[in-house]
Structure 1
Amino acid sequence: MSGINLSGNNFTGEIPEEFGNLTSIKLLNLSHNALTGSIPSTFSKFEQIESLDLCYNNLTAVFSVAYNNLSGRTPERVAQFATFNENCYDGNPFLCGWPLPKKCTIATVLYINPNWRRRWFYYVEMVMEGCYYFMVDHLPVPEKYKVLDPSSGRLSWQ
């Protein structure tokens, strides 16, 4: 089974700890119910979870993505993300941005994310090529670099 969607069923009470035994589940949606209490610690057994939706309930939760080998910039500090402290991100050496002491610079982001690195170098290449052709098309060539091709009678660069 890859996923369970139990959203919008008016479930009440605490989330059963037995859900944590579904270790290979990829999607669990318990949103839009009236669930209370905290998220069961057994959820830490999820080995392949890709989507966990618990919104629109009355849960109490502590956010931590510690020790997940995450990379890139931490989320913007708005809404609930504003309440997360540095400890929530422990064990993720390639994360950067507030509240972490490591600032996100272009070099850091390029080192961390190969997709961004490829895009950056492609952008730099396009800018350099554009500059080159702008110069060729718009700047005059000094006479000392012009050469007359005897066979065609055309001027070319040296």
Structure 2
Amino acid sequence: MPTKRKNFWVLLTLLALTITGGRWLYRHAPQDLQCDMQRPEMTWHRPHHRHACTPQHDRHKKKRRRCGIATGVYTPGFNEFVRVDQEPQVLNRPLVEAEVPYPAFLLDAGIQGTATARILVDEHGNYQRHQLIHLSHPALRPLCDRQAALLEFTPAMRHGSTVRYWVNVPFSFPQ
């Protein structure tokens, strides 16, 4: 096959794949999530669903349905980057370390190490949930879980308002 014909068919194939691939992405992408970028807190809504985040007036149901997301409370994803002016700071670390001491049986067994917890801090500075992203020994997991749940924070600040934020908190055992 001559080179010009071969190049033509390669380009035609790439064009067809681009068009069909674009249509497939258009059909299968989560387009029901649309971002309202006009508000500074970046609220999310689902405009094409029956139970959309805006109040729905239904003849048969008297309840108004609202999504928790549409009220301005946006929870970032676990690995999502959120730009903030001020990150949360731990307020009560010495109190938590005193309340949840290092167990004697772990000390006797010679188990020590470090852990890092990724903690979701809400807009009021309260602990919501966490995931351990680094753990040097599995026996430290319950101790780290208890300490992470008791931590209190200053809230993250973005453009003068408080926002939810994932913060990495390192732990060292024994303290």
**Do Structure 1 and Structure 2 share a fold, with TM-score over 0.5?**
no
Return the index of the structure with the highest Cα Rg: 1
Structure 1 length as normaliser, TM-score?
A: 0.20
Structure 2 length as normaliser, TM-score?
A: 0.19
The one of the two structures with greater contact order (alpha-carbon pairs below 8 A, sep at least 6) is: 2
